[in-house]
Structure 1
Amino acid sequence: MTGKRPLPHEGPHAHRHDLRLFQGVEAWIFDLDNTLYPHDADLFSQINEQIAQFVQDLLGLPREEAMAHQKALYHAHGTTLRGLMSEHSIDPDAYLRFVHDIDYSNLAPNPELGGAIEALPGKKFIFTNGDRPHAERTAAALGISDHFEDIFDIVSADLIPKPNRETYDKFLERTGVSSARSAMFEDLSKNLKVPHQLGMCTTLIVPTGSRELFRESWDMEGDPYPHVDFATDDLTGFLKSVLGALAQA
């Protein structure tokens, strides 16, 4: 590639540096796991361990085989739960109780994050492939429960997980929010494809220290992430920047 490198406010991806894209947003939608808390909080790894244990106990498989089967179910059906329901007719309530029986003590209250979420104009929602009790315990541990209008969980979605289009449609129908006036924050790129198609402003939460590497990939020919408007490894700092941009508008 020759020629000078475009400045952040130039070129085809200029919107990815312009926080004014959040002007007019009235609904702020947050994934839960690895989004409202960082990847290194060791919560989701516990959930994965519990899922593997459930599969192992259910099928009587050695640990490695259980983990391999779990991954195959996840990739084939979107979530391990959906795969176990389809292929093994499990009780989803028993599964959800088991896999979310974890230690939340690694989560500390995050008043800065809570303050930033509270200051956002409009309604705020948690939209998770986990269940409501897990979301409630997580939000309580972070000290941010009071800042959300509602929690839309896997049960609310009739056990059909993101990134299925019908799950987003159910969320919009239940909450009554406008997708064109919404912003979604997620740690999985695939879960932002439908929101982008629906007109939402999308932000990908990446592991600490990887934001610039991710942004560099945006400059690759073909653009592998056309559905991601922004990426950040610091949700609190990013929301504060968004609030600053909105205040100046």
Structure 2
Amino acid sequence: MHERGAGGRRRRDDPGWHDGAHAACRGIHEGGRRNDGPRRRPVSVLLADTRYWIFDLDNTLYPAEAGITRQSGLRMRHFLKDRLAISDDAEAQTLQRRYFRDYGLTLVGLIRHHGVDVQDYFDHVYDLDLSAIAPSPDLAAALAVLPGRRMVFTNSPTEHAERVLDRLDCRAQIDAIFSIRDAEFQAKPAPEAYRRLIQMHAVTPEQAVMFEDIPRNLRPASDLGMRTAWIRGDMPKHLMDGLTERDFDFVVDDLVGFLARTVAEQDWGAHT
């Protein structure tokens, strides 16, 4: 995809790359690695110099099975029908999906084309029942010992991120939340959102890793020099954006397990 630059990191089209980095980590399942033979390396070797841990929020810090995205989608369609006087569910869903596809966030399309009141949208769409999100002491423990800064990078408002982190009981382990307001409504995957994050929080991309469930949102991070970790799930083709598993540094089925394994391999917990 591109030359990684600092640290002598190989290009993904280098034949030797697959033998090293990718072979060591694309087989991650439930936080572990396949035994790929004598050339395998602990995934933590590739993260040893990481000092910026950037996490998407919904369907990344907690499992998609919690159904929060489905719940917000229903509230979003209700908002479209009510505020834009749309009577048909299918029409509202089509508009919602089109704006999400084109702008990375339905709200951005509503602002540009309909001048909706942002706070009215937030108040309606994010009035969510988060009871399906359970506290995650294992996640909190892993986050607590990661070296450097831990950030949430979300297309949602800060208030929603704080509520989710409170449900996970992980708010104290997150150093910063970069929300859609902070991005000045440049939603992921707009490259400007990533540049604003880097500037606001003085992130060194070559020392950063980004975790995200939507594959297309990882492309700009990779282009800027960050390592990328896809939280694997069933994705529509347009959200894959032509990407495959080989385009990510890590493919992760269980974030908590992955972080716990990384912490254990680096023995970071011994220094807390």
Bucket of the pairwise TM-score, normalised by the shorter protein: 0.7 to 0.9
2:106 is the counterpart of 1:80: yes
Of 14, 17, 23, the residue aligned with 1:14 is 23
- Give the AA of the match of 1:134: H
Does the 8 Å contact 1:22/1:246 carry over to 2? no
Shift of 1:225: 4.3
Shift of 1:68: 1.3
Which residue of 2 is the match for residue 52 of structure 1?
Answer: 77
Shift of 1:244: 2.4
- Give the AA of the match of 2:149: K
Q: How does 1:205-216 map to 2 (within 5 A)?
A: 205-207=231-233
Does the 8 Å contact 2:21/2:249 carry over to 1? no
- Give the AA of the match of 1:16: C
How far, CA to CA, are the matches of 1:111 and 1:247 in structure 2?
19
2:257 is the counterpart of 1:237: yes
Distance change in 2, residues 1:223/1:93 (3 Å): closer
How far, CA to CA, are the matches of 1:181 and 1:135 in structure 2?
24
Does 1 or 2 have the higher relative contact order (CA < 8 Å, sep 6+)? 2
SS of residue matched to 1:185: strand
Of 129, 133, 143, the residue aligned with 2:169 is 143
SS of residue matched to 1:10: helix
2:111 is the counterpart of 1:102: no
Which residue of 2 is the match for residue 27 of structure 1?
Answer: 52
Runs in 1 of length 4+ with deviation above 6 angstroms? none
How far, CA to CA, are the matches of 2:243 and 2:139 in structure 1?
31
* Corresponding pairs, count: 228
2:267 is the counterpart of 1:247: yes
2:186 is the counterpart of 1:186: no
Which residue of 1 is the match for residue 248 of structure 2?
Answer: 228
Does the 8 Å contact 2:22/2:250 carry over to 1? no
Shift of 1:14: 3.0
Flag structure 2 segments of 5+ consecutive residues without an equivalent.
1-16, 27-40, 235-241
Shift of 1:91: 1.1
Does the 8 Å contact 1:28/1:124 carry over to 2? yes
Shift of 1:226: 4.7
How far, CA to CA, are the matches of 2:20 and 2:144 in structure 1?
34
How far, CA to CA, are the matches of 2:91 and 2:83 in structure 1?
12
Flag structure 1 segments of 5+ consecutive residues without an equivalent.
1-7, 211-221
SS of residue matched to 2:188: coil
Shift of 1:186: 0.3
Q: Percent identity?
A: 36
How far, CA to CA, are the matches of 1:227 and 1:198 in structure 2?
14
RMSD (Å) for aligned C-alpha atoms: 2.0
Distance change in 2, residues 1:108/1:83 (3 Å): same
SS of residue matched to 1:171: helix
Q: Which moved more, 1:65-74 or 1:108-117?
A: 65-74
Distance change in 2, residues 1:46/1:24 (3 Å): same
TM-score under structure 1 normalisation?
Answer: 0.86
Does the 8 Å contact 2:134/2:168 carry over to 1? yes
Does the 8 Å contact 1:15/1:21 carry over to 2? no
How far, CA to CA, are the matches of 1:33 and 1:56 in structure 2?
24
Does the 8 Å contact 1:186/1:203 carry over to 2? yes
Shift of 1:12: 8.0
How far, CA to CA, are the matches of 2:115 and 2:148 in structure 1?
41
Which residue of 2 is the match for residue 3 of structure 1?
Answer: none
- Give the AA of the match of 1:241: R
Which residue of 2 is the match for residue 162 of structure 1?
Answer: 188
SS of residue matched to 2:100: helix
